[in-house]
Amino acid sequence: MDSGQEHTVRRVVLIVVDTLRSDALDHEMWTPRMTKFAREGIRLDEAISPAPWTLPSVASFMTGVSPIVHLATTAYGCLPDELYTLAERLKEHGYATGAIGDNLVLAAPSGLDQGFQEYHFLQRSSRVSQYNFGARMVEKLFPEKVGVGRTSDHVALASCSWLRRHREKDFFLWIHLIDPHLPYAPPPSHQPQETPPGSVGRTFNRLDGIRSGFWTPHPGERQWIERLYWGEVAYVDECVGWILDELRSLNLYDETLIVLTSDHGEEFWEHDGFEHGHTLYDEVLRVPLVFKLPAGMGERGGDRIEAPVTTESMVPTLMDLLEIPYDPRDFSSPSLASLLLSRHAAPPREPILSTGLYVFEDRVSLRFGGKKYIRHLMSGKEELYDLAQDKEEQRCVARKDDSSVEEGRILLSQAMARMEEMRDVYGIHSMARGTMTHQRAEQLKKLGYLK
C-alpha cells in the first residue's frame, strides 16, 4: 500500500525529548520553539508517564500496554516479541517507518526496533575516527548511519535528512532526542554566563555522589545544576525547531500529524532527591504532551486540556486519528482521540497507573478522582495525596483519609488483576532480556542505568 491517497493521514512524526519536565512549556525563555508549537497544537497539561524512566515508559507508549504487562522495567530488559508495536501496525498498513535517536537504552537490543524499516539509535562515542575523510563523507550523506560525536543536533540533522528522502512517501518517523538527560553539558551558547561553583563546573554528571549520599549540594550548587539542565533544554528546543522548520520547508508541516512528548521528567530536590527513576512523584511522572493535528482535522489548535491522561494511550489514539481499526482489548489505556477532536468529549475515567523504578524499592502509583495513591511493593508502605489541594505532593494524607486509601487499594487491586490477565493473554510470563555486551554495559553505566 504505497499510495498516499489510501491514507486519511499520510504522515506522522513523533518527537520525544528525553527527560523533559512538564513545566518546560511554561518557560518560553528556554523553549520558544516548543512553546510556539504547543500553541499551534492541542496541549494536554496533565499528561502522566507510565514509568519514571526511559525504557518502560517508551515501551508502553509504543505498545499501549502497562509496564506490568510488558515487564521491560530494568536495563537488562527488552520488549517481548509477543507485543505488537505502533511501528508494526503502521508498517502493515503501508507506512514507511523510521526511528532516529541517541539514547543507548533504546538501541536495538531493547526490542523497540520491532516494525521499523530503519532504526538508528547510536551511542554518542565515535564508532569511527572523526578525522577519517571517508567517515565524514558518509556522515554528511547519511548522518543517521554513524555515531561521530553524536548529539541532539546530529539527531535533528539526521531526521531532516530522513524527511527529505521520504518526503514523497506516507511515513511514520520517531525522533528521540536524549538531551536534556544527564550529563548536563549545554553548548557554550546555552550555558549560564556567571562563574560556576568550583564543585560543579560548566558540565555536570555526578549522579552517584548525590544518590549515595556522599555529596549533598548546597543551595547555590543545586541552583547551578538546575540552570545547566535548563541550558540543555534551550539547546534541544533549538534542535526541535530545526525539525519543524524542515517540515515547513518541505511543505509537509500542515498536513502532518505531529506529536511532541517526553518519556519522563526530572527531580530537582522537590522530594529531597535528584534526577529520575527513583520515585513516582509528578516532577518525574508529568510530561509535556502536544498533538498538532493535520489541517482540516478538528478545530482545536491552541487548546489546552487539563484532564489527567497517560502517554500509554499513544497507540490507540494515533490509530483512531489515522482511522486504522484495532481491538481496544489490545491496550491497557483508552484512546484520547475523541478528547482531541471535540471540546464536548468526556475525558477518560480510568485510573492512571505508573510503576517501574530502576533504583530503590519498586512502587506503583494510581491517580484517581483528584487523588494519588502510592504503594511500595516490598514494604507495603502507603502514601496518599490530594492533588487538588496539594499539587506538589508535599503532604501525605494517608492517615487522615482512610476511605480514599481504601478506594486506592481496591482500584489498584482491580488494575493489577486486569494487567496480569492481559499479560496472560499475550503469553508474557517473565521479563525478556536484551543482549548486554561489555560496551553496552559501560555506556549504560555512564547514563546512570547500571552500576
Where do the structural domains in the chain lie, given as residue ranges? Answer: 4-351+437-446
Residue 151: band (very low, low, confident or very high) from pLDDT cuts 50, 70, 90: confident
Query: Within a 10 A sphere around the Cβ of 311, how many other Cβ atoms?
Result: 29
pLDDT of the residue at 386: 98
What is the Cα–Cα distance from 174 to 259, expressed in whole angstroms?
Answer: 10
Residue of 322, 319, 344 lying closest to 330 (CA atoms): 319
Residue 168 pLDDT greater than 70, yes or no: yes
What is the Cα–Cα distance from 257 to 265, expressed in whole angstroms?
Answer: 24
How far, CA to CA in Å, does 303 sit from each of 30, 45, 48, 316? 21, 10, 18, 21
What is the pLDDT averaged over residues 215-238?
96
H helices present in 93-177, as ranges: 133-141, 152-166
Residue 435 pLDDT greater than 80, yes or no: no
Amino acid sitting at position 48? I
What is the Cα–Cα distance from 78 to 209, expressed in whole angstroms?
Answer: 28
Choose which CATH entry (3.30.70.270, 3.40.30.10, 3.40.720.10, 3.40.50.2300) describes domain 4-351+437-446. Answer: 3.40.720.10
The residue among 126 and 253 whose pLDDT is bigger is 253
Cβ atoms 370, 393 nearer than 8 A: no
pLDDT of the residue at 431: 83
What backbone torsions phi and psi does residue 97 show, to the nearest 5 degrees?
A: -125, 130
- Kindly report whether the peptide bond that precedes residue 186 is cis, defined as omega within 30 degrees of 0: no
What is the Cα–Cα distance from 167 to 309, expressed in whole angstroms?
Answer: 32
Q: pTM to 2 decimals?
A: 0.92
What dihedral angle (degrees, nearest 10) is formed by the CA atoms of 114, 119, 317, 292? 180
pLDDT of the residue at 438: 62
Residue of 237, 295, 255 lying closest to 171 (CA atoms): 255
pLDDT of the residue at 437: 67
Give, as one character, the DSSP assignment of residue 110: G
SS3 assignment, position 240? helix
Percent of the chain residues topping a pLDDT of 70: 89
Residue of 400, 374, 375, 372 lying closest to 386 (CA atoms): 372
Mean confidence (pLDDT) of the chain? 90
Residues 6+ apart with CB under 8 A from 371: 384, 385, 386, 387, 401, 404, 407, 408
What is the Cα–Cα distance from 42 to 289, expressed in whole angstroms?
Answer: 8
Q: Which three cell numbers stand for residue 177?
A: 532526542
